[in-house]
Amino acid sequence: MFSIRTLALSLALFTTAASAGKRGLAWPFLLVHHMNPASHRPRQTTLLCKTKAPYFSIQLLNQPLFLSTSSSDPGVLNNGQGQVVAIYDWETFAPPSTNGNGGLGFIGTQRCMDCDSSPVAQLRARQAQQGWATVFSLNEPDQAGISPSAAADWYVQWINPLAIKKALPAITSSTSPGQGLDWLNSMINACAGRCFADYINLHWYGNSFPEFQNYITGAHNRFPQFNVVISEFALQNPSGGQSAQVAFFRQAFAWLDAQPWVILYFPFVATSPALLQANDPGAASFVGTGSTLYNNNGLPSAVGNLMF
């Protein structure tokens, strides 16, 4: 049920983020579906994952069971002083945990055009029920075979009607022709002024802070009409492991906090090394486990301690 507290969190999330904090939690989980009791046969099994994705969707059963693949309490990284203000989980339902959203503003994400876990037909109802202040759309469509024109038409149909803050699809930092910022530019052109949006949504994985800084600044300069959210970022499996990630995030956080056009940012990822390795070995291989925000005991890691 929509509550006054939810409303307060939702209204505060984007009206005070610049003064109170910009940091957020990218919260992973495991999604499985139960056996159909009528037939006692599983439906077709599908594993949805990508090289650096935080989710699995194993479609075995009719009713979903959500298993957190992160530490159980997002509130551990919310010290009440307003540095960490948001949480998202690549879905349109709040992350399962022992402490709800941990006192953070939840951002719903319609990560694909239509998902079993987040049916697009339920998008508006879920937003109204949960009271999100903003919505993220399409996760890395530039590498998922979704054309910019199809994304534009989809966005106009499903995202435009939401009377909240909106982010254009989250794109990768790929420099391959037709991907990354080029894909986003093509989508904006295909929108031809029809797509109502407040933010561009960036993902970045690379080798150094100067590379990250140049990419984010370049994206802002290319699309100055939008503010920026960064919903995934980390060094790509650095040889220095956690110490290298700590040094990178220390520089990145300070710089991002100083940019008025950066609204929110989410280091990858709010889980522990053991859980990331067990539940998403592709991400653990691509990014490494040094950027995880929790230790295996559920307390903040060296990177997690930078969030405060």
DSSP state for residue 242 in the 8-state scheme: H
Whether residue 155 lies inside any domain: the answer is yes
User: How many structural domains does the chain have?
Assistant: 1
Instruction: Return the pLDDT at 61.
Output: 33
pTM for the whole thing?
0.86
Cα–Cα distance between 273 and 299 in angstroms, integer? 12
Whether residue 7 lies inside any domain: the answer is no
Cα–Cα distance between 9 and 38 in angstroms, integer? 41
Cα–Cα distance between 305 and 210 in angstroms, integer? 23
Instruction: Return the pLDDT at 96.
Output: 76
Instruction: Return the pLDDT at 99.
Output: 86
> Cβ atoms within 10 A of the Cβ of 125, count?
11
Whether residue 196 lies inside any domain: the answer is yes
Share of the chain above pLDDT 90, in %: 75
Could you tell me the strand order of the sheet in which 29-33 lies? Answer: 55-58, 29-33, 64-68
Cα–Cα distance between 220 and 146 in angstroms, integer? 23
**Furthest CA-CA distance within the chain:** 57
Instruction: Return the pLDDT at 69.
Output: 66
Whether residue 238 lies inside any domain: the answer is yes
Whether residue 61 lies inside any domain: the answer is no
Long-range Cβ contacts of 224-227 (<8 Å, 24+ apart): 226/168, 226/197, 226/198, 226/199, 226/200, 227/198, 227/199, 227/200, 227/261, 227/262, 227/263
Instruction: Return the pLDDT at 266.
Output: 98
Give the domain extent around 175. Answer: 112-306
Whether residue 106 lies inside any domain: the answer is no
Whether residue 247 lies inside any domain: the answer is yes
CA 149, 131, 13, 307 dihedral sign is negative
Whether residue 178 lies inside any domain: the answer is yes
Q: Which two tokens stand for residue 297?
A: 């005991």
Instruction: Return the pLDDT at 47.
Output: 27
- Sequential pLDDT tens for the chain (308 residues): 333 334 444 444 544 333 479 999 999 976 554 333 333 322 222 223 333 434 333 333 334 445 566 656 999 999 888 999 999 999 999 887 778 899 999 999 999 999 999 999 999 999 999 999 999 999 999 999 999 999 999 999 999 999 999 999 999 999 999 999 999 999 999 999 999 999 999 999 999 999 999 999 999 999 999 999 999 999 999 999 999 999 999 999 999 999 999 999 999 999 999 999 999 999 999 999 999 999 999 999 999 999 99
DSSP state for residue 77 in the 8-state scheme: G
Instruction: Return the pLDDT at 13.
Output: 55
Instruction: Return the pLDDT at 38.
Output: 36
Instruction: Return the pLDDT at 80.
Output: 80
Cα–Cα distance between 156 and 98 in angstroms, integer? 36
For position 215, which CATH number holds? 3.20.20.80
